[in-house]
Structure 1
Amino acid sequence: MIELKTPAEIDRMHTTGRFVAEVLTEVGRIADVGVNLLDIEQHVRGMIAERGAESCYWDYAPSFGRGPFRNVICLSVNDAVLHGLPHDYVLRDGDVLSADIAVSIDGWVADSARTVVVGTTADEGDLRVIRATEDALEAAIDAARPGNRLGDISAAIGGVARAYGYPVNTEFGGHDLGRTMHGDIHIPNAGRAGRGLTLRPGLTLALEPWFARTTDKIVFDPDGWTIRSADGSRTAHSEHTVAITEDGPTVLTRRGQD
């Protein structure tokens, strides 16, 4: 069932979105050389508890994955791009870290992700794939307007990927959300414009382009969760929660530096 939110309900989602943005800003600040992923996980747990929010990841058990997820943030390093389990790994100079988080506050969810380079040694190819996901996200947001279709969002993301020369995997992509983290809508990161559901005010979507530098194929770690590029190439992931309003798209998880 697709639920259209009232302006007041979107405002409540925006409250959650501001907190999610705060968490991802903090993760970007503390993700440094010598920091363990488990320490980032614990720090985020503390922020969630202090805010009185609820993690949407804890006990999450979809059709994929091995057992319920027992962390509050996904931390994916280098060739890992989605659903990375925080584990005993110390960040190194030049690592690419993707952080993805969804929480609920007073029953309303927001979901967002960002990718950063750790330390001071940044490979230009890594920076380029990060920029590509960010540009694709902005193109997707611009397409999220009343009267457009879901295919317009997918086509916008895919168009940016093609311009950068990156292949696109369509197995995992965006989705609708509101009272729960995942609704019935799947938004692939490539598609045909003018196709699919007509976008209406009140629809809230998590738009999340992710690319690997040289492949659209993925593999799963033995943990059943962490998704990596099949050829080991580095990856990036950018995501915002966006509300479609009469006046156009409103980003509910925009970070200050954006």
Structure 2
Amino acid sequence: MESTRTPPEAVRHPVVFLGAGPGDPELLTLKGRRLLDEADVVVYAGSLVNAALLDGIGAVCHDSASLDLEAIMRLLVEGYRQGLRVVRLHTGDPAIYGAIREQMQWLDAAGIPYEVVPGVSSALAAAAALKKELTVPEVTQTVIFTRQAGRTPVPERESLRNLARTQATMCIFLSVSMIAAVVEDLLAGGYPAATPVAVVERASWPDEQIVRGSLADIAGKIRDSRIKKTAMIVVGPALAEDSRIASRLYDAGFTHEYR
């Protein structure tokens, strides 16, 4: 569809990098909804973005799935120079595996202003789907967002084997196709075989699928489920079903300054 808006030539709007959230259109922020509704040009991250987010908007929409960086930037830069409202729509939150760094550097070099609007990460949507708190008093107070090394390398100091030594909650992105290697590294790093694991495919989408298990059996369960991509691996003792530890924040005898 074509935009009918023709902003005055002198008007220049910053390019917006917008987090679309994990999939459910209602998990887009209010600010994100307004920016999409006002946009003249939207460059979105292919099938990873729920098409329902684009329904009824007046912008010219470009699927970036088949575009390289130069082609994407040409759309953003030309839209800006024409005085149009340009939105680059990324999945989840663009700060996490969003590949926006090189796009921002390109705009910096061209002297073009931009802003980043956060979105709900798929890691948090996965936790919501699991109905789990990722931090549990006396169990873990740390959450690690990471990935298994694959086509994109990972520094050795940040390998799953090294990170597993913390025994923290880990949200492992972009790695379900390598689940056997993930399990091997987590066990080698010190997680017990009984450590609970959950894999959430397409968190918040209508066809969301959850597979639960332990490090001892999750690889086989994922193989049987045929989950291959767009899934979050969550692992750590915070997922234990039998934990009854409660936060002291609302304990009647706990002194506090803020709640």
Tell me the TM-score normalized by structure 2. 0.33
Larger Rg: 2
Tell me the TM-score normalized by structure 1. 0.33
Answer 1 or 2: higher relative contact order, Cα 8 Å, separation at least 6: 1
Greater percentage in strand: 1
Greater percentage in helix: 2
